[in-house]
Amino acid sequence: MLAMNFRGPFRVRPDRNMPEPQIEHPEDAIVKVLRSCICGSDLHLYHGLVPDTRVGTTFGHEFIGEVVEVGSGVQKLKVGDKVMVPFNISCGKCAFCKQELYGNCHESNPSATAVGGIFGYSHTAGGFQGGQAEYARVPYADVGPTVIPDWMDPDDAVLLTDVVPTGYQAAEMAGIQKGDTVVVFGAGPIGIMAAKSAWLFGAGRVIVIDHLEYRLDFVAKYAQCEAYNFKSIGDPVVFIKTQTDSLGADVCIDAVGCEAKGNRMNTLLGIKLLLQGGSTTALHWAINSVKKGGIVSIVGVYGPIDALVPIGNVVNKGITIRANQAAVKRHLPKLIEHVKNGVIDPKQIITHRVPLEEISDAYHIFSQKLDGCIKTVLIPPR
């Protein structure tokens, strides 16, 4: 089948000879992928920032598909169902899934990295193949996959597999109180949805910080918030203090994660990037600009798990840090309602629609933020 094939940092290619997935366990299903997306999390892999990302991996943890085969143990799904597949692989039975911590499932990835299994990610997240492909194997098919309602646009459905729930959980974890000033670092798909969601939790003011003007323009309109370019406001920490009577923001959200310091030209197969651990600037800004006793909510992904943070300031200011992979399944019922009622219109963030065959260009454009790119949807061949 045709699928994305990771060949090393900054090198991905479409490969017509990737093996078709098979049922490996009675609870598996196979889906024919209808749409998939490229996520900021894929960029950490692409940039060589996540340990144990193996050559031959097919990325893609945001996808919807039609069920074409089910294992003998699958009871809820049937062939022909069209499903959105949460990016977390969750068994539904372990101690963590029972607490609805679907992003921390123990059975799908018992390794020491603590994250649960994730489709199309590094072997630190279980080493599952992903959905930037014609077909994908979906383990624990009765747990995560959710049938797409008839009325729902497939573009909205694919964004419910990660982007919308992650932005929503970022705001939820931030413990926003009525009237709070919320600062979101990053105006990518996740930051955009975090800003939008912050209002749903009662924010009084929402400020988004990035340096890409086209994204700042978009988020200002889409989330009806303030948006500032960190290249023109001076030190963002000082700027936020001036905006908050010197107190700092009530809540800061990190929707950036580990940023690549280099590019294809100055990295040797990603080794330099991995050693450097990437940049943690946004997280520093978040910790340093939240008020004393405030909350920093982190959904940005840090591949090397020991990335340095200003922990001294966390202690001195008595900050609460909340962070996690989003538990997609937990949020879906509410978010499906929000999409139905027009509270959230996810598909507006899609700027690019690219045939799967053109995956190399699609990664380059999204990684370099060219051509006004916010979110790319990949269309497999019919």
Q: In residues, how long is the chain?
A: 382
Residue among 5 and 41 whose Cβ is closer to Zn ion: 41
Q: How far is CA 298 from CA 17, 21, 92, 326, 365, in A?
A: 38, 34, 24, 10, 26
Residue among 166 and 244 whose Cβ is closer to ligand NAD: 166
Least gap, CB of 332 to ligand NAD (angstroms): 14
One character per residue 60-99, x = contact with Zn ion (rule: CB under 5 A): --x-------------------------------------
Residue nearest to Zn ion (CB): 39
SS3 helix, strand, coil % of the chain, rounded to 5?
30, 25, 45
Least gap, CB of 73 to Zn ion (angstroms): 28
Q: What angle do CA 251, 254, 260 make, to 5 degrees?
A: 160
Phi and psi for 117 in degrees, rounded to 5? -65, 145
Contact 334, 324 (CB under 8 A): no
Least gap, CB of 93 to Zn ion (angstroms): 24
Residue among 160 and 282 whose Cβ is closer to ligand NAD: 282
- Contact between 162 and Zn ion per CB under 5 A: yes
Least gap, CB of 338 to Zn ion (angstroms): 19
Query: Per-residue DSSP letters for 304-360?
Result: STT----HHHHHHHT-EEEE----HHHHHHHHHHHHHTTS--GGGGEEEEEEGGGHH
With CB under 5 A as the contact rule, the residue among 34, 38, 39, 327 that binds Zn ion is: 39
Contact 291, 316 (CB under 8 A): no
CA distance linking residue 321 with residue 317, whole number of Å = 11
Residue among 162 and 210 whose Cβ is closer to Zn ion: 162
Residue span binding Zn ion (CB under 5 A) among the ranges 71-79, 99-107, 158-166, 255-263? 158-166
Least gap, CB of 304 to Zn ion (angstroms): 19
What is the H or E stretch that residue 77 is in? none
Residue among 29 and 299 whose Cβ is closer to ligand NAD: 299
CA distance linking residue 380 with residue 382, whole number of Å = 6
Residue span binding Zn ion (CB under 5 A) among the ranges 162-170, 264-272, 317-325, 347-355? 162-170
Q: How far is CA 44 from CA 54, 145, 321, in A?
A: 13, 25, 22
Phi and psi for 231 in degrees, rounded to 5? -85, -10
- Contact between 41 and Zn ion per CB under 5 A: yes
Residue ranges that bind ligand NAD, judged by CB under 6 A: 39-41, 43-44, 162, 166, 185-191, 209-212, 215, 230, 255-257, 259, 281-282, 299-301, 325-326
Residue among 201 and 230 whose Cβ is closer to ligand NAD: 230
Least gap, CB of 282 to Zn ion (angstroms): 17
Contacts with Zn ion, residue ranges (CB under 5 A): 39, 41, 62, 162
